[in-house]
């Protein structure tokens, strides 16, 4: 049995993170600064086990319910994109439904997914937009990955992220989101504010699980 440490380091802003909660499988720590909750690396799945969990997901591009779910990001993003934009669906999974939805509106979308659509050269290109739906909660090194994605955006480009946001300890205790063993980084609203400040980005917080960050001057809009 692995002993729970007294504290951990936030994988996003690198500040100290204090113990937050334990369930039967693993401990969780919350950053004192950006309020991200994370699982220390000792409790991360190995790549084979992680892939096995993803293989259990059934997300099909033509599934109406899945498309409705993704529309929470697709609709506001489409309202902000110029016609014929060129984007990247990062972490698209085996059934890249969001890419299909955006292509139907005249945009070009490339794919990159570590397991299902490996395309590392995409990270050396520049994009008008990048999407990451239900991706960032799986990242063991979120700062490294998100900084890389931000570098890949053209000026005035958009980074669209969909992930459930952590609220407080009481809500976390009963939160279904933590039951997925591949979920290891739980962003708060403050986590995205921290990123926006780091990047001098325009941040729009939409509903309970969507944020849009634009590569321009720093602004904050909440809807």
Question: Could you read off the pLDDT of 131-176 as tens digits, one per residue?
Answer: 999 999 999 999 999 999 999 999 999 999 999 999 999 999 999 9
| Dist CA 185 CA 187 (whole Å) | 6
Residue 218: band (very low, low, confident or very high) from pLDDT cuts 50, 70, 90 = very low
DSSP summary character for residue 110: E
| Dist CA 59 CA 162 (whole Å) | 15
Task: Say how many domains are in the chain.
Answer: 1
Q: Identify the domain containing residue 83 by its residue range.
A: 7-222
Q: What is the pLDDT of residue 9?
A: 96
pTM over 0.85: yes
CATH code for position 196: 3.40.50.150
| Residue 1 lies inside a defined structural domain of this protein | no
By three-state DSSP, how is residue 220 classified?
Answer: strand
| Residue 2 lies inside a defined structural domain of this protein | no
Sheet of 37-38: strand order equals 7-9, 16-22, 27-31, 37-38, 185-186
pLDDT digits (tens, 9 = 90+) for 8-61: 999 999 999 999 999 999 999 999 999 999 999 999 999 999 999 999 877 778
pLDDT digits (tens, 9 = 90+) for 176-215: 999 999 999 999 999 999 999 999 999 999 999 999 999 9
């Amino acid at each position: 049995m692995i002993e729970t440490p007294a504290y951990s380091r936030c994988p996003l802003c690198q500040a100290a993170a204090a113990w937050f909660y334990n369930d039967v499988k693993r401990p969780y720590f919350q950053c004192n600064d950006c309020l991200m909750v994370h699982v220390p690396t000792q409790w991360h799945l190995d790549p084979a086990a992680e892939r096995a969990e993803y293989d259990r997901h059934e997300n099909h591009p033509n599934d109406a319910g899945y498309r409705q779910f993704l529309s929470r990001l697709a609709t506001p993003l489409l309202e902000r994109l110029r016609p014929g934009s060129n984007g990247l669906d990062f972490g698209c999974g085996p059934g890249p439904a969001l890419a299909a939805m955006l292509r139907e509106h005249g945009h070009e979308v490339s794919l990159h997914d570590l397991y299902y659509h490996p395309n590392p050269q995409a990270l050396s290109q520049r994009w008008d937009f990048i999407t990451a739906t239900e991706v960032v909660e799986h990242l063991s090194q979120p700062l490294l990955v998100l900084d890389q994605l931000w570098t890949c955006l053209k000026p005035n480009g958009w980074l669209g992220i969909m992930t459930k946001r952590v609220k407080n300890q009481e809500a976390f205790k009963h939160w279904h989101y933590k039951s997925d063993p591949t979920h290891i980084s739980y962003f708060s609203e403050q986590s995205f504010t921290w990123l926006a400040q780091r990047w001098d980005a325009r941040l729009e917080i939409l509903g309970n699980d969507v944020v849009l960050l634009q590569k321009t001057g720093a602004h904050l809009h909440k809807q």
